Amino acid sequence: MENDSKNPIGVFDSGLGGLTVVKELIRQLPNEDIIYYGDTARVPYGTKSKESIIRFSIENANILLKYKVKMIVVACNSCSSYALSILQKGFSVPVIGVIDAGARKAVDTTKNKRVGVIATPATIASEKYPQTIHHYDKSLKVLSQACPLFVPLVEEGWMDKDVTLRVANEYLGDFKKQKIDTLILGCTHYPLLKKVLSKSMGAQVSLVDSAQEVALEVKRVLNALGKINANQKKGRTKFLVSDKPQEFKKIAKQFLGFEIKDLVKVEKHKM
């Protein structure tokens, strides 16, 4: 097989959330080129059926493969829940999801063995987080809560609005009663709500953001395969969306901390 170490890393998500993963990849692997695809025409995925999520995931992976990516990062918890094993079997490049890394971090972090998971309805229904956590430690108590309003609030840019805190308090009430000490942000949009979630839960609760852990996993896998880009030049990041490029550009700055320049709208999928 040809050495494709100079090829880009592909990342996809239903919308903007996966940019939290991109930010970490840029920080930890500054020489790597990255192609990011946000399926903004069909966001959110977390309220869709399992069949739709699998179909969307395969379509998204195929879009990235057109750019000769050397690896695909599924930066979407709903897709990681339902489609990861299908993508891993169906594609010749390594495919990495976000759930395993977050679950491991939570197991390492909790002191009182009470972990909360917040995610989209699809991710919660898949029960992938409790299963993965119990694979590492059967003694942990895992509580789960679907938070369908969080993704649209983030996509709207309403990270600091009172309504967002009120929604968080409503969703997280049971977790506070159950005295969890670790909260997994089971959707890549949720790190943008860290301030609100900390305010709602209190500073004593650790928030697990899997983006950092996923970037470490990408680094480990590329190293093991001898596919780290040894080029000393700073990597470039190209962004693809299926809809609303201007809106994406505006909110992306809040995720990444810089203005994105290379942004392309791809042809919408045949529905």
* Catalytic machinery residues: 76, 187
Q: Quick one: 265 exposed, middle or buried, by C-beta within 10 A (0-12, 13-18, 19+)?
A: middle
Q: Which helix (H) or strand (E) holds 185?
A: strand 182-186
Residue located via tokens 């491991």:
104
- Three-state DSSP at 28 gives helix
Contacts of 220 (CB under 8 A, 6+ apart): none
For residues 41 and 19, what is the distance between their CA atoms, to the nearest angstrom? 16
For residues 248 and 190, what is the distance between their CA atoms, to the nearest angstrom? 16
Contacts of 12 (CB under 8 A, 6+ apart): 18, 36, 37, 38, 39, 57, 60, 61, 63, 64, 72, 73, 74, 75, 76, 79
